Structure 1
Amino acid sequence: MSDKKFETAAIRHQLERSNQKEHSVPIYATSSFKFEDAEDARSLFAEEKEGNIYSRYSNPNNDEFIQKMCLLEGGETGMAMASGMAAMYTSMAAFLSSGDHVVASRSLFGSTHQILTKLLPKWGITSTYVDILDDEGWEKAITPKTKMIFLETPSNPALDLIDLEKICQLAKSKGIIVNVDNCFATPYLQNPIKWGADIVTHSATKFIDGQGRVCGGAIITSEELFPEIKFMARHTGPSMSPFHGWILSKSLETLAVRMDKHCDNALKLASHLEGNDALSQVRYPFLPSFPQYELAKKQMKQGGGIVTFELKGGIEQGRKFLDALKMISLSANLGDTRTIATHPASTTHSKLLEEERLAVGITPGLVRISVGLEHIDDIIEDIEQALVASK
């Protein structure tokens, strides 16, 4: 983190401007860059000095975005990626070889699960899942071939938390890389590197963009680990477009104020829904009734913008509830200014087997609400009327 406060660093860190003295950085819509002379070209390709060669490698807009992300996460360096899943895959593939082993939290985003169970095994890379609440399971799952621990906290969509300090201490004692998907919390609410994580990954598509406009991802790490990530990304091409880098850099300028409102609305919604007779449970990390409330207070600034609840009527009531919503959007995305309702069992996690979904708390009646920035009274009113209509 820079010596500036979060909000100031997100707004005031910027690349040098051109001789036009523009206040806002322009979009560098170029595929390549000119060299001063033959020696300049040679030294850039030899990586003897920093500079732009080709936008698949680097681009000023993406550089500004990732530099801001490093400042906000407390990392040393990183790379902007075309999507969140490009970030997840690249951050794994850069370090894993045939015969290696990954220990992962059982509750993961559906596509991350597919990487671990369907893609990596093609190259002889195995993985073991650990139940998030099984404190002893992490150490038991580690083998001499374990190269990486990959986890989400809060998890998608159950909002289970993992004690980052404890996991990172365990991994450090065994020389294992810890890779944390920090998408739900954002760097404003949680900094895994502070607790000892080696790599932090993001789907910038979500709260970092915050308005449902672009896809993007980010990998934040140390100077020591970065060369492997840089090599993998340069030669496989999951690069972010300059336009998206420009948007996401501007988005970071409002991240703090947006997350404050997301969190405030989410806590008010969760508190209001507790005790509703149509629901068997309401989950939100900063609710005092949340099983891991103390851990949430320890490693998160606020509880985030996601609330989940379980409809007593299961899948049928879930469908009726979604169909009865009048204002809230139905979408598989999250982190938007607009409140979004998602049914994970039939969308984001539908590729998992039923027993796999149940193992991570994704029951047929589970609904995930990405709480937006509308007035909280209007959000509550729409959910309340849909609950009544779905009974």
Structure 2
Amino acid sequence: MPTTALRGGAPGSWSWWWAWWWAWWWAWSWACSWLRPGPRPRHGERVSDDEPERRGPSTLAVHGGEPAVRADRSLTTPVVHASAYPFEDTRELYDYMEGTRQRPAEYGRYGNPTVERAEAKVAALEGAEAAVLMASGMAAITTTLLAMLRAGQHVVLTRDTYRKTRVFARQVLARYGVEVDIVEPTAAAVIEAMRDTTRVVFTEAPTNPYLRVLDLAPVIEQARARRIKTIIDATFATPVNMRPLEHGVDLVIHSATKYLGGHNDLLAGVVAGRASLVGAIREHLGMTGAVLDPGSAYLLLRGLKTLALRVRQQNESARRLADLLAEDPAVARVWYPLRPDHPDHAIATRYLAGGGGVVSFEVHGGLEAGTRLVDALRIPKLAPSLGGVESLVEQPALMSFFELTPAEREAIGIREGLVRLSVGVEDPEDLEADLRRALALLRS
């Protein structure tokens, strides 16, 4: 048989036939690879992690929510400063509005690429379906409560929580017809306060300033039976020490200004949880407008990458300082959740992987003695925040409750000699030496 017959009459030699066959085989294999089940990442798209729940907090802090390769090939997330995002044509607008095309939101109040990347990283750290960032921790708290509650409904808060949260509930939510109960941070008290109209239980873990830890299991069991949403402000814990969603909590909130940002250079808040709940909160945010700017989102992304490293250091240093304080005769009492003398120690050991970076303690001698101690410290700065790389110290009676009388402060549990120490990432030996010196001056 002539060779031209084998080649089907094609010009050239056998090498041409083999080249044609391999080209066909490669094209067929490539097409099949795109038709097989499962997502295929493209440049600039978010990549789903393989078994992300098995990855440690440091790995999630660095790589969580990040694409395999960015469209611009940059290693870090770029800062996108834009108030609006134009459409190529009306067809793209239709596709976007109908939900058939993924692209940036049309307006900056509804989304920003840099902010969305930070949201994805927080969601990965918390093991959440979704997260939404806002302009501050209080914006996250107030927007969430406003989105979840209506007139005639009821909310339960625990007493030992951030003061502005309680003030918002009593003064703003009550003004809109929401009934508010503020109870002791115990499971029994929270469950007893639940009513037929209760829609939300809100607490902190640990609380501020006495670092109380609520036993979540019985509260969540009762809340689910009554269709009540549970919300936890876990700012003091961070995802490194506790992931509330794993215990059945519906929503977790952080003042990202604190540990998540970690450098005292931004204001931000975040809510994480099921996509349906977060979506409802995001819709409310689109009306209230307390959105996070892209510059702060970039700072948050950068800070998050070292979250686990910082928190582990702060856990260890705070534990050492708590033990030092407990042994000093100038100190009347110490509150640190993983110390055996804390009222919720047994509960804390079940929920917390670390005790956190805050130590609260009471000195003998009241307000004046506390002032002498604070002014004698050289490393911690006198400031009303926490969670950053710098150690900070404050007296709640002066910083947060200055306008109240001593009797009024005592009535709400704020002791005159109370000091709150937020431990940074300085060498623990230096912090110990500084604290010992200040305590010695207090005793002299």
Aligned positions, number: 390
1:207 — aligned with what?
A: 259
Q: Give CA-to-partner distance per residue, 1:141-195, whole Å, 9 cap, x none.
A: 1111111000011101111110122211121111000010000000111011111
CA pair 77-354 structure 1, distance change in 2 beyond 3 A: farther
Shift of 1:129: 1.0
- The code of the aligned residue for 1:71 comes to A
1:11 — aligned with what?
A: 62
- Is 1:380 the counterpart of 2:437? The answer is no
CA pair 202-355 structure 1, distance change in 2 beyond 3 A: farther
CA distance in 2, matches of 1:150, 1:357: 22
1:127 — aligned with what?
A: 180
2:169 to 116, 122, 125: 116
- The code of the aligned residue for 2:225 comes to S
CA distance in 2, matches of 1:360, 1:141: 19
1:284 to 317, 330, 336: 336
- Is 1:341 the counterpart of 2:393? The answer is yes
Q: Give CA-to-partner distance per residue, 1:233-289, whole Å, 9 cap, x none.
A: 011111001111111112111111111100010011111111211011111111122
Is contact 2:406-2:416 (8 Å) kept? Answer: no
Is contact 2:77-2:117 (8 Å) kept? Answer: no
- The code of the aligned residue for 2:303 comes to S
- Is 1:20 the counterpart of 2:75? The answer is no
CA distance in 2, matches of 1:157, 1:22: 42
CA distance in 1, matches of 2:439, 2:245: 40
2:275 to 223, 240, 261: 223
CA distance in 2, matches of 1:382, 1:279: 15
CA pair 246-352 structure 1, distance change in 2 beyond 3 A: farther
2:225 to 155, 173, 177: 173
Higher mean C-alpha displacement, 85-94 vs 1-10 = 1-10
Higher mean C-alpha displacement, 6-15 vs 158-167 = 6-15
Q: Give CA-to-partner distance per residue, 1:287-345, whole Å, 9 cap, x none.
A: 12222222111101110000111011101111121222222100001011111111112
Shift of 1:41: 2.1
Please give the residue correspondences for 1:84-123 in structure 2 after superposition, counting only pairs within 5 Å: 84-123=137-176
- Is 1:370 the counterpart of 2:399? The answer is no
Secondary structure of the structure 1 residue equivalent to 2:200: strand
1:389 — aligned with what?
A: 441
CA distance in 2, matches of 1:82, 1:22: 26
Please give the residue correspondences for 1:1-391 in structure 2 after superposition, counting only pairs within 5 Å: 2-13=53-64, 14-15=66-67, 18-52=70-104, 53-133=106-186, 135-350=187-402, 357-358=409-410, 361-391=413-443
Secondary structure of the structure 2 residue equivalent to 1:267: helix
Is contact 2:361-2:418 (8 Å) kept? Answer: yes
Secondary structure of the structure 2 residue equivalent to 1:116: helix
CA distance in 1, matches of 2:158, 2:122: 24
Shift of 1:355: 6.1
Q: Which sections of structure 2, spanning at least 5 residues, go unmatched?
A: 1-51
CA distance in 2, matches of 1:286, 1:136: 22
Shift of 1:227: 2.9
2:47 — aligned with what?
A: none
CA pair 51-224 structure 1, distance change in 2 beyond 3 A: same
Secondary structure of the structure 2 residue equivalent to 1:162: coil
CA distance in 1, matches of 2:426, 2:158: 33
Is contact 1:109-1:348 (8 Å) kept? Answer: no
- The code of the aligned residue for 1:40 comes to E
CA distance in 2, matches of 1:335, 1:131: 25
Shift of 1:3: 4.4
Secondary structure of the structure 1 residue equivalent to 2:262: coil
CA distance in 2, matches of 1:187, 1:245: 18
Shift of 1:208: 0.7
Secondary structure of the structure 1 residue equivalent to 2:76: coil
TM superposition score normalised by structure 1? 0.95
TM superposition score normalised by structure 2? 0.84
Which fold has the larger relative contact order, with Cα–Cα distance below 8 Å and residues 6 or more apart in sequence?
Answer: 1
CA distance in 2, matches of 1:36, 1:80: 28
CA distance in 2, matches of 1:224, 1:232: 13
2:14 — aligned with what?
A: none
CA distance in 1, matches of 2:170, 2:98: 38
Is contact 1:158-1:360 (8 Å) kept? Answer: no
- The code of the aligned residue for 2:146 comes to A
Shift of 1:114: 1.3
CA distance in 1, matches of 2:338, 2:109: 41
- The code of the aligned residue for 2:378 comes to K
- The code of the aligned residue for 1:181 comes to D
Q: Which has the larger radius of gyration?
A: 2
Is contact 1:183-1:206 (8 Å) kept? Answer: yes
- The code of the aligned residue for 2:123 comes to C
Higher mean C-alpha displacement, 272-281 vs 318-327 = 318-327
Is contact 2:335-2:361 (8 Å) kept? Answer: yes
CA pair 278-111 structure 1, distance change in 2 beyond 3 A: same
CA pair 150-351 structure 1, distance change in 2 beyond 3 A: farther
